[in-house]
């Protein structure tokens, strides 16, 4: 069961920011071509082979017709605007201060420039880079299991 916290609005049950960079994970060097707008809905994070991780859900919401908001349950928020010519979103990602939880490795001050696209496979791919760190998130539309 995934719990959404009203104070956070939209959620991401996790982001392996520290693991992706410290444990040899993806780097945002490869830039997949965007294929269009990203739908406002819930997504599930997947690894490079497309295997979903049910612990890591994210939601995308449309703030305006050209601006999306993505929030994480673990304290991050991203806003990005759509570039029709490039078929991609560009914007910023930053951690919020939330009591005892928070950013991996104490990265409160890191402001990331992000690029977010829907690739040819329909995956959402978000890459981010700050002065000191970078990350990649891949996600697919999350379909909730139906009760028997």
Residue 98 lies in a domain: yes
Helix ranges (DSSP H) in 6-103:
17-22
pLDDT at 70: 92
| Residue 98 structural domain | 6-141
pLDDT at 50: 87
Q: Which comes out higher in pLDDT, residue 73 or 21?
A: 73
Residue 113 lies in a domain: yes
Residue 123 lies in a domain: yes
Residue 43 lies in a domain: yes
Nearest Cα neighbor of 52 from 24, 5, 13, 101 is: 13
Q: Contact, 110 vs 94, CB < 8 A?
A: yes
Question: Is the predicted pLDDT of residue 36 greater than 50, yes or no?
Answer: yes
Give the three-class secondary structure for 28: coil
Total domain count, the chain: 1
- Record the pTM: 0.71
pLDDT band at 10 (very low <50, low <70, confident <90, very high): very low
Which residues lie across from 123 on neighbouring strands? none
Q: Which comes out higher in pLDDT, residue 40 or 31?
A: 40
Q: What b/e string do you get for 1-40 counting C-beta neighbours within 10 Å, with b at 16 or more?
A: eeeeeeebebbbbbbbbbebbeeebbebeeebebeebbee
What is the CATH number for 21? 2.40.128
Q: Can you give the length of the chain in residues?
A: 148
φ/ψ (deg, to 5) at 21? -95, -40
* CA terminus-to-terminus distance, the chain: 16
Residue 69 lies in a domain: yes
Return the biggest CA–CA distance within the chain. Answer: 49
Residue 146 lies in a domain: no
Residue 147 lies in a domain: no
- Residue showing tokens 């010519």: 85
């Amino acid at each position: 069961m995934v719990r959404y916290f009203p104070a956070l609005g939209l959620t991401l049950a996790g982001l392996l920011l520290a693991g992706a960079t410290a444990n040899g994970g993806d780097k945002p060097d490869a830039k997949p071509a965007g294929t269009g707008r990203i739908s406002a809905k819930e997504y599930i994070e997947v690894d490079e082979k497309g295997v979903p991780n049910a612990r890591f859900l994210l939601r995308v919401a449309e703030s305006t017709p050209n601006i999306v908001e993505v929030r994480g349950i673990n304290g991050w928020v991203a806003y990005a605007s759509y570039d029709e010519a490039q078929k991609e979103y560009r914007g910023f990602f930053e951690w919020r201060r939330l009591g005892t939880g928070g950013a991996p490795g104490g990265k409160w001050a890191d402001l990331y420039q992000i690029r977010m696209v829907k690739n040819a496979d329909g995956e959402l791919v978000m890459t981010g880079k700050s002065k000191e760190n970078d990350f990649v998130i891949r996600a697919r539309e999350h379909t909730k299991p139906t009760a028997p």
